[in-house]
Amino acid sequence: MTNFFAGIYGANDALTAARYGLEVTGQNIANANTPGYTRQASRQAAVGTAVGVPTIHSGTVANGGVRATGADRLNDPILDIRARDEHAKSANVDTNAARLADIENIFREPSDNGLAEQLHDFWNAWGDVANDPGAQVPREMLIQSGQATVTTLHSMDSALDSVATAAKNSLDAQVTAANTAAGDLAELNRKIDIGNATSVNVNALLDQRDVLLDKLSSTVGGVAKIYDNGTASVTVGSQDLVKVGAGGTPQFEAKQLTASMTVTDPTHVAVDFAVDGTAVTLNDSTAAAEAKTLTDTVPKYRGQLDDVAKALHDTVNGLQSSGYQLDGASGPDMFTGTTASSITVDPAFTWKNVAASGAPSASGNLDGGNALAAAKAGSLGTGPDTAYSSLVGDLGRASASAKQQQATQGVIASSVDTLRASTSGVSYDEEVSNMLTYQMAFQASSRVLTTLDSMLDTLINHTGLVGKV
């Protein structure tokens, strides 16, 4: 009888293990498309009789039973670390490429209504004045062309402000998201610690932990350290953003990351990061790229645009001073202001002030020599056209390089994701195969129970009837 009951216990354990395997497989299939879900596998172990305890009480015979001992998360910690690192780099280059594309849209050339075309029209307007130096209309058209040119410079400068504003808003959002994630991770650490201490399955909590670690990595370049009990700390720069006690034990604490921007002038901007007041430098991340946009990218092209405005100011005003207006006096300045935001046509400047003549003359200063020289100013090496061409060329090269980096990094990140998914991702084919395996195991265990039941029925109800009257 002892062996019969031991067999029942063994078959029941097998049924339970197979059923648990089916539950884990079903969970995998149900969460195949759940972001952050890590595939799990039922863990089983053979069990034998406890030493010195009769099998009727221990429940199994030696090497004759199986128990479900838990569910393992099938992740690769090394691939997880690499994936976070590569996605942080991707976030950095993606953001950088996007901001350069935004700026490239401001200076889109060649264009029928771009700054290059407006400068071309402006120099042509000087040619029209040279063709008819004393006429009012060509002179008025020249002033209008100058006004259109400076309006475009103002618009471009304002568009750069919009790019900077978008980058600042995004930076603030990344810092806020990182602080929220840090607080969530600290609370999650507490739950994971309690779960491990009470032998509760914490796999779902570990999935949530990894999602937060991925987020902290891509947003602010957070570097994770995972302890044996599943809790995790995160550093930004050299400072703890999420702190775990020694050896991964309580207390759990989330600190605050801050980003402050200082604007000395539009071309000199600083962004400083700190964790609870201690200065840090961010690793590759969205926040780091947005900070670069504010401190480097936008100021650089704003400075080059200011160079265009200054070259326009200096070139035209220099030509004006070397020529003579209608009354024979030297020409006054046409432009005031030397930056893209401040340059404008002097409100006091009229058509009579255009210094078309190359030399004073009693006949009305109508030789048009200076206007003809101005018409050729577009080819000057120090002129605004050259400065603008340099800006567009630098921007085009930077944008092309950023796009190439983005494409290359995208391939690397995708490759790592594929490797990561091969380990932790759910495969329907594999899960269906596992489901059939556990189903067969369940059916076989059921058949064992049925057979043992039949044998016991025979033993109890049909033994000892010989000779009975």
Determine the Cα–Cα distance for residues 76 and 85; give it in Å rounded to an integer: 14
pLDDT of residue 453: 78
Q: For position 5, what pLDDT does the model report?
A: 66
Q: What is the mean pLDDT of the chain?
A: 91
Residue found by looking up tokens 């050729």 in the block: 376
Per-residue pLDDT band at 58 (split at 50, 70, 90): low
Task: Give yes or no for residue 3 having a pLDDT over 90.
Answer: no
Q: What is the pLDDT of residue 14?
A: 85
Segment 112-171, tens digit of pLDDT: 889 999 999 999 999 999 999 989 999 999 999 999 999 999 999 999 999 999 999 999
Backbone φ/ψ region at 426: left (φ over 0), alpha (ψ -120 to 50), beta: beta
Q: Report phi then psi at 71, rounded to 5.
A: -130, 125
Lowest mean per-residue pLDDT among 213-227, 264-278, 368-382, 450-464:
450-464
Element (H, E) at 243: strand 239-244
Q: Give per-residue pLDDT as tens, 293-348.
A: 999 999 999 999 999 999 999 999 999 999 999 888 999 999 999 999 999 999 99
pLDDT recorded at residue 55: 53
Instruction: Provide the residue ranges of all domains of the chain, joining segments of one domain with +.
Output: 2-74+428-461, 83-416
pLDDT of 50 above 90: no
DSSP-derived letter for residue 352 is G
Burial 318-328 (b: 16+ CB within 10 A, else e): ebbeebbbbee
Residue 65 pLDDT class (50, 70, 90 cuts): confident
DSSP, collapsed to helix, strand or coil, labels residue 259 as: strand
CB contact at 8 A, 98 and 111? no
Run of H or E residues at 425: none
pLDDT at 364: 58
- Provide, rounded to the nearest whole percent, the portion of the chain with pLDDT above 90: 76
181-185, 269-273, 327-331, 401-405: lowest mean pLDDT where? 327-331
pLDDT, residue 69, reads: 86
